[in-house]
Structure 1
Amino acid sequence: MTETRPRRPPAPQPAERAKTIALRGGPAILMPAADGRSDRDQHVVPALHHVHASGSVSVLLPDDDPVVTAVTHGELAMMLELADHAPVQLREPVRGLLWITGWLRPVDARTARARALSIADTRPDPRLLDLGHGLRMVQLTPASLVLADSEGTHSLSAQTFRTATADPFCEYEQKWLRHLESAHSDVVDQLVRHLPEELRGGRVRPLSLDRYGLRLRVECPAGDHDVRLAFSRAVDTPPQLAVELRRLVGCPMMRP
């Protein structure tokens, strides 16, 4: 007899998930590419970082940072680690990690100003005003990327990342899930019915939302468990999303 394995719920492709993490712009650490994870003293927290659609990363560092000094004498092999944090407070808040490895190079003043204006168009940040006044811009040109999240670990080429698109709800996800937990705990309680019976006694929290479904984090005494609740179809607009959330809750008249 052939054993049939449970069908895994659909999820965004790795490149799409990587692009989504990059667009969210979570906490970042810059480190040497070869041995960066072993020497914490060489890790640098950028004053500001921005991953462009191409995959290149603009990084603002203090003028006197050793990395700025080193890169003026030649490009450096570096890695940027981006953390994707859950929108609600969890005991294990990191949902995923994206590592961008490539070559760090200096950026001339004119190019740096143009890049800063481009960043400000989509992500206004007062720290951009410190460019040239205590902060210097350097650029990380990607050679490869690695994504690690609950769906697995995946290697991506710079070209694959460049052509991917982020999830359509990534910029609204944080606000929606925080609102879901703070104002609609009854809705979360209704979602518990979709969980395996052995997990229904844990503390259920909204973890993430994408066009394929909703993920819940179940915090149990013995550990945490992530469960994906799939939509009946992939959605791209808020009205489509509202329909799918009503279906999961089992209440056709519920408003998001």
Structure 2
Amino acid sequence: MSATFTRRPPTPSPAARARTIAARHYPAVVLPTGLPGERVRPELHHVHANGSVSILLPEDHPLPSGATVVELTDLAPVELREPVRGLLWITGWLDLLDETEARAEALVIAEQRPDPRLLDLGHGMAMLRLTPASLVLADAEGTHSLLPQAFSAAEPDPFHRQESDWLRHLEHRHPDVVGQLARHLPAELRGGLIRPLGLDQFGLRLRVETDSGDHDVRLAFSRPVSDPPQLAVELRRLVGCPFLAAQRQG
């Protein structure tokens, strides 16, 4: 008797997906392990390539140094009834930086993402740094534990800066294109409400909202893409090709 195996479409590695979530600068909360139930929303946070996290908080905030978790939420760029696409938890040791360290940290952040809130450092705001020990990623592809070295060695998806604008444009300006993608869905999902959910170098993800729940489907590209012209070719192929295998994820 032979077994049948369903080949899952290729996806970014867990470390690359974690780097992408961190690079999007979506909401974050700080969860001090010594204060169960406490959820602190920083004025600003920034995840560095090595997994360390810079956190800007009011100088009089009672957040203690010590073992801490930073939770990052990956949100869909279009309005969905279940908007969370993934979560990344970075666990490590939190320390308050002195004035010299804090200003050096702010300069590093400003070179990558200038933000006027950094000007408040030393004027009512203090900088803390989380040194990572481990990371956990949970998304539609599964739950994965990562070491800081694996996180640092990966790169964010090449389209992470443009993804939100592109998917909102697809949703609002080209609903006919989204409708044409329905041909690639499992038959039982084609009557649901189809929404663009995600885009990366390996494929396009759709969210299908049905009466029985939400289902995520990945439509794989024929090859990984790295620039907009290659992406345009693959998107046209998805819309015009009579058949593409889709992997149902939930």
* TM above 0.5: yes
Q: Does structure 2 conserve the Cα–Cα contact (< 8 Å) formed by 1:104 and 1:138? A: yes
AA paired with 2:167?
Answer: L
SS in 2 for 1:66: coil
- Are residue 55 (structure 1) and residue 51 (structure 2) matched? yes
**Displacement, 1:119?**
1.1
SS in 1 for 2:118: helix
The answer to which of 1-10 and 159-168 deviates more is 1-10
SS in 2 for 1:170: coil
Q: 1:180 aligns with which of 170, 179, 184?
A: 170
The two structures have a TM-score, normalised by structure 2, of 0.94
SS in 1 for 2:54: strand
| 1:201-240 map, 5 Å | 201-240=191-230
Structure 1 residue ranges without an equivalent (≥5): 252-256
**Displacement, 1:33?**
3.5
- Cα distance in 2 for partners of 1:133, 1:222 equals 52
Aligned to 2:107: 117
| 1:35-54 map, 5 Å | 39-40=36-37, 42-54=38-50
Q: Does structure 2 conserve the Cα–Cα contact (< 8 Å) formed by 1:33 and 1:101? A: no
**Displacement, 1:198?**
0.4
**Displacement, 1:130?**
0.9
**Displacement, 1:125?**
1.4
- Cα distance in 1 for partners of 2:5, 2:61 equals 53
SS in 1 for 2:16: helix
Aligned to 2:76: 86
- Are residue 192 (structure 1) and residue 182 (structure 2) matched? yes
- Cα distance in 2 for partners of 1:33, 1:192 equals 45
Task: Give per-residue Cα distances to partners, 1:136-159, cap 9 Å, x unaligned.
Answer: 000000000000000000000011
Task: Give per-residue Cα distances to partners, 1:204-234, cap 9 Å, x unaligned.
Answer: 0000000000000000011000000000000
- Cα distance in 2 for partners of 1:32, 1:49 equals 15
Q: 1:162 aligns with which of 152, 160, 168?
A: 152
- Cα distance in 2 for partners of 1:26, 1:33 equals 22
Q: Matched residues, percent identical? A: 66
Task: Give per-residue Cα distances to partners, 1:90-148, cap 9 Å, x unaligned.
Answer: 00000000000000011111121121122122212121111111110000000000000
Structure 2 residue ranges without an equivalent (≥5): 242-250
AA paired with 1:30?
Answer: V
- Cα distance in 2 for partners of 1:211, 1:33 equals 36
- Cα distance in 2 for partners of 1:33, 1:183 equals 45
Q: Does structure 2 conserve the Cα–Cα contact (< 8 Å) formed by 1:83 and 1:97? A: yes
Runs of 4+ deviating beyond 2 Å: none
Q: 1:64 aligns with which of 51, 60, 72?
A: 60
- Cα distance in 2 for partners of 1:123, 1:91 equals 30
**Displacement, 1:32?**
2.0
- Cα distance in 2 for partners of 1:33, 1:5 equals 43
AA paired with 1:97?
Answer: L
The two structures have a TM-score, normalised by structure 1, of 0.92
SS in 1 for 2:207: strand
**Displacement, 1:54?**
1.2
SS in 1 for 2:77: coil
- Cα distance in 2 for partners of 1:144, 1:116 equals 24
AA paired with 1:31?
Answer: L
C-alpha RMSD over aligned residues = 1.1
Aligned to 2:247: none
AA paired with 1:25?
Answer: H
AA paired with 1:18?
Answer: A
- Cα distance in 2 for partners of 1:206, 1:175 equals 12
